[in-house]
Amino acid sequence: MVDLADEHPVDESLIGAEAHLGGLDLTNADLAGATLTDATLAETVLRFATLERADLRGADLAGADLRSAGARNADLREAVLEDATLTGADLTGASLAGADLAGAQMPDADLPEATLAGADLSDAVAYETDLRNARLGDADLAGTNLRAADLGAADLRAADLRDAYAAGADLGDVVLVGADLGGVSLAGADLTGADLTDADLAGADLTDATLRKADLTGADLSDADLRAADVSTATLRETRAVDRRGERVHATKRTLHDLGAVVHRRE
């Protein structure tokens, strides 16, 4: 194992797999294509560092500062990024499957086309983050702040978004099949064309949300707030809701209208 704790300045040529780099200042370091599997980078400063195509599988980056780092197509599978700062980082196409991002600060980060299947993003701050076409199947996003994030065409099937905050987010054409969205805030969010088949939206805040052309087949809208939500062209097959009398019913356009939803869009 390489330990560079006493190396000043750091010799980048010594950095390799299982290296111990915890707490070092590697601002602007060029680690493109480096092999850093299982490396210790906890609390390491990697601001503006270049990590494109770097192999960081299983690396410990807990609490690391990766602000504005470039990590396009990096391999971060099973990496630990708990409480890390990724503000403005570029992780386009990166693989973060199974990674631990719980509590990570990642507003305004770029993760289009990234793979985050099975990743833990619970309580992360990801407002205004670009997650277009990202793969987030089975990911844990409970309590995550996704305000105004761009999740267009992302795959979130079976993901856990309970109590997440995604007001104003772009979820057009997103796949949320079987996802748990209980208590999520989607106020003002755009879910045009979203696939919400069998999704659990019980208690969700959908006020002023756009659900045009969304597929709500088998979805549960029990106790969801649908005031001013546009469901005018949504598919409702075996969709469940609680009507004004508090009775659990199969939702119809009439039922949702009575609950405050817009069922005939004004052109």
Residue-wise pLDDT for 235-245, tens only, equals 999 999 998 88
Most distant pair of Cα atoms in the chain: their distance: 71
Q: Is the pLDDT score of 14 beyond 80?
A: no
Write the DSSP symbol of residue 258: H
Q: What are phi and psi of 204, to 5 degrees?
A: -70, 150
Cis peptide before 9 (omega within 30 of 0): yes
Predicted TM-score of the model (pTM): 0.92
Q: How confident is the model at residue 264 (pLDDT cuts 50, 70, 90)?
A: confident
Specify the pLDDT at position 18.
Answer: 61
Which of 142, 239, 218, 165 shows the shortest CA–CA distance to 261?
239
What average pLDDT does this structure show over 39-45? Answer: 97
Specify the pLDDT at position 2.
Answer: 35
What average pLDDT does this structure show over 247-258? Answer: 94
Q: Are 153 and 172 in contact (CB under 8 A)?
A: yes
Q: Are 90 and 71 in contact (CB under 8 A)?
A: yes
Specify the pLDDT at position 3.
Answer: 38
Q: How confident is the model at residue 11 (pLDDT cuts 50, 70, 90)?
A: low
CA-CA distance, 122 to 103, in Å (whole number)? 6
CB-facing half-sphere around the CA of 230: CA atoms within 13 A: 18
Q: How many CB atoms lie within 10 A of CB 212?
A: 17
Q: How far from chain centre, in Å, is Cα 132?
A: 10
Specify the pLDDT at position 38.
Answer: 96
If residue 253 lies in a helix (H) or strand (E), which one and from where to where?
helix 253-258
Specify the pLDDT at position 17.
Answer: 58
Q: How many CB atoms lie within 10 A of CB 265?
A: 11
CA-CA distance, 104 to 114, in Å (whole number)? 16
Instruction: Report CA torsion sign: 18, 23, 24, 27.
Output: positive
Tokens representing residue 84 in the block: 């890390």
